């Protein structure tokens, strides 16, 4: 197999915490090389392990992300109400387990109070400025959202506007959004 395979690209996921609410939004585009394969993928999910509600958005391989989301649910069931601990345990497994090490995805997760970015490098990062973004258009969405945080817009309005800006700039991001809100 050639190393020139174009690979899967795309996705912009943003998490915005403002006014007691967290919004995680993601676009719907899945691309293979220069081709849009699907425009309506759902990359933001609501998890409810043991009645503890969490919202998660993912960038990267869909199958890999679903594997990580299942693992996160298991960690949340083992540590109910302790999102940070569950995220750290997932990141430890992701870094040390030979199967999980091959997974290519990133997650933004929130329980409505805390928000974290989890990576395969073992990172569990709490974002500064109450905004986190991942994926190919993540930096565009992050910059746009940070510029809007001091204004009158609520968390959802900031997330939607930032995603619209990212979709205008990043060819791997579209305007077909999935938006989930969670508050504590």
Mean pLDDT score of the chain: 90
Print the SS3 string covering 46-95. Answer: EECHHHCCEEEEEEECHHHHHHHHHHHHHHHHHCCCCHHHHHHHHHHHHH
Q: Which of 11, 12, 79, 173 is catalytic?
A: 11
Average pLDDT of span 125-131? 96
- Out of 17-21, 101-105, 175-179, pick the least confident: 101-105
pLDDT score of 9: 54
pLDDT in tens, 21-67: 999 999 999 888 889 999 999 999 999 877 789 999 999 888 888 88
- Tell me the CA distances in angstroms from 7 to 30, 94, 148, 169, one per residue in order: 11, 22, 33, 20
pLDDT score of 8: 46
pLDDT in tens, 64-75: 888 889 999 999
- Of 16, 70, 43, give the one whose Cα is nearest residue 176: 43
Average pLDDT of span 96-110? 85
Q: Which residues contact 102 (CB under 8 A, 6 or more apart)?
A: none
Measured between its terminal Cα atoms, the distance across the chain in Å is 49
pLDDT score of 64: 85
7 pLDDT band, cuts 50/70/90, is very low
Q: Over 50: is that where the pLDDT of 4 sits?
A: no
- Out of 32-41, 94-103, 150-159, 167-176, pick the least confident: 94-103
pTM for this entry: 0.91
Placement of tokens 């912009």 in the chain: 12
Average pLDDT of span 76-95? 92
3-class SS at 160? helix
Pairwise CA distance, residues 121 & 168, whole Å: 30
User: Which DSSP helix (H) or strand (E) runs through 97?
Assistant: none
Specify the higher pLDDT residue, 1 or 140. Answer: 140
Whether residue 19 contacts residue 150, with contact meaning beta carbons closer than 8 Å, is answered with no
Query: Which structure tokens are listed for 70?
Result: 């299942």
The class that CATH gives domain 8-170 is alpha beta
Placement of tokens 């849009």 in the chain: 36
- In the residue annotation, 11 being an active-site residue is answered as yes
The domain spans of the chain are 8-170
């Amino acid at each position: 197999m050639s190393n020139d395979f174009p690979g899967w690209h795309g996705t912009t996921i943003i998490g915005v915490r403002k006014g007691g609410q967290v919004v995680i939004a993601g676009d719907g585009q899945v691309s293979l090389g220069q081709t849009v394969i699907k425009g309506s993928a759902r990359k933001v999910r609501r998890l409810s392990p043991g009645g503890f509600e969490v919202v998660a958005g993912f960038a990267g391989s869909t199958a890999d992300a679903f594997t990580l989301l299942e693992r996160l649910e298991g960690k949340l069931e083992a540590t109910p109400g302790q999102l940070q601990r569950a995220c750290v345990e997932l990141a430890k497994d992701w870094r040390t387990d030979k199967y999980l090490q091959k997974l290519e995805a990133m997650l933004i997760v929130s329980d409505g109070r805390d928000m974290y970015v989890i990576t395969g490098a073992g990172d569990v990062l709490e974002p500064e400025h109450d905004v986190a973004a991942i994926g190919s258009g993540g930096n565009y969405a992050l910059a746009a959202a940070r510029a809007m945080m001091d204004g009158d817009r609520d968390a959802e309005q900031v997330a939607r506007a930032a995603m619209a800006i990212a979709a205008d700039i990043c060819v791997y991001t579209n305007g077909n959004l999935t938006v989930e809100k969670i508050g504590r």
